[in-house]
Chain A
Amino acid sequence: MKRSIELTKDPIDEGLMVSSRTLSHQMGAVVYFSGIVREGEQGRKIDAIVYEAFEEMAVHQFKLIFDEVEQKWPIESIRLIHRIGHVPVNESSLWVEVTSPHRQEAFQACEWLIVEMKKRVPIWKHPQFVGD
């Protein structure tokens, strides 16, 4: 399984990610998810989220999750980008793409990966409340 993991302070260029995709001829499904910073957190208005990561461990934990994905589904590739630092409202903080022969496993793997990330990958949000 091909895999890439990137933690970056830069905005995610979704167009570049899509245009740089490579697929074998056996692949029939590409699912990608983009998580966007909303303007509300804890019932208050925010203008951004600052993401903090224990970077070395985060990358390691993503690799372990990818290993498990590979055991569960016939996935050809996973590409994942997570922003760290300041991410304004309306920008993507997470972009993850899964490719597989059929849509069902691509959807399931993408969802499962994100659920597991939220349990074990050491990344934290610091909402930037408007007016603070």
Chain B
Amino acid sequence: MLMHPIQQMIEIKVNFFSYFKDLTGCEATRIDLEEGATLEQAMEMVREKFPKLESMKRSTLVAVGLEYVATDHVLSEGEEISLFPPVQGG
């Protein structure tokens, strides 16, 4: 009998700011991803869960922890993603 390795899953918290909270109806959510998943895969999952974010795809800023990172960043258990519209300080 062939044995398939059990795919480990990680849980990632996703935070929303500014009017993304209105588009999603929440301040944060949690998603389950396969270990080794990238930020881009996480964002696709978030957009599937909250389709109203799709229209903001091109202007969405995304951070992992406190840093802006490339979308090929491989996520680790315990990391938090934040999604938000263009910033407007000043």
A54 and B89 within 8 A (CB): no
**Least Cβ–Cβ distance between B14 and chain A, in angstroms:** 13
Binding site for A on B (CB under 8 A): 15, 17-19, 61, 63, 65-68, 82, 84-85, 87-90
Interface size on A, residues (CB 8 A): 24
A124 and B66 within 8 A (CB): no
B90 and A61 within 8 A (CB): no
Asked if A31 CB lies within 8 Å of chain B CBs, one says no
Binding site for B on A (CB under 8 A): 35, 51-54, 56-58, 60-61, 82, 93-94, 114, 117-126
**Least Cβ–Cβ distance between A67 and chain B, in angstroms:** 13
CA distance A122 to B65 in the complex (A): 12
Most central of B15, B63, B87, B89 by chain A CB within 10 Å = B89
Chain B residues in 8 Å Cβ range of A119: 87
Chain A residues in 8 Å Cβ range of B61: 122
**Least Cβ–Cβ distance between A120 and chain B, in angstroms:** 7
Known: A58-B89, A120-B87. 16 other contacts (CB 8 A): A35-B90, A52-B17, A82-B89, A114-B90, A117-B90, A118-B88, A119-B87, A121-B89, A122-B17, A122-B84, A123-B87, A123-B90, A124-B84, A124-B87, A124-B88, A125-B88
**Least Cβ–Cβ distance between B23 and chain A, in angstroms:** 13
Give the dominant DSSP class at A's interface. Answer: mixed
A63 nearest in chain B by CB position: B66
CA distance A121 to B63 in the complex (A): 11
B87 nearest in chain A by CB position: A122
Would you list 24 pairs from A and B whose C-beta atoms are within 8 A, ordered by A residue?
A35-B90, A52-B17, A54-B17, A54-B63, A54-B84, A60-B66, A60-B67, A94-B89, A117-B89, A118-B90, A120-B87, A121-B87, A122-B63, A122-B82, A123-B87, A123-B88, A123-B89, A123-B90, A124-B19, A124-B84, A124-B85, A124-B87, A125-B88, A126-B18
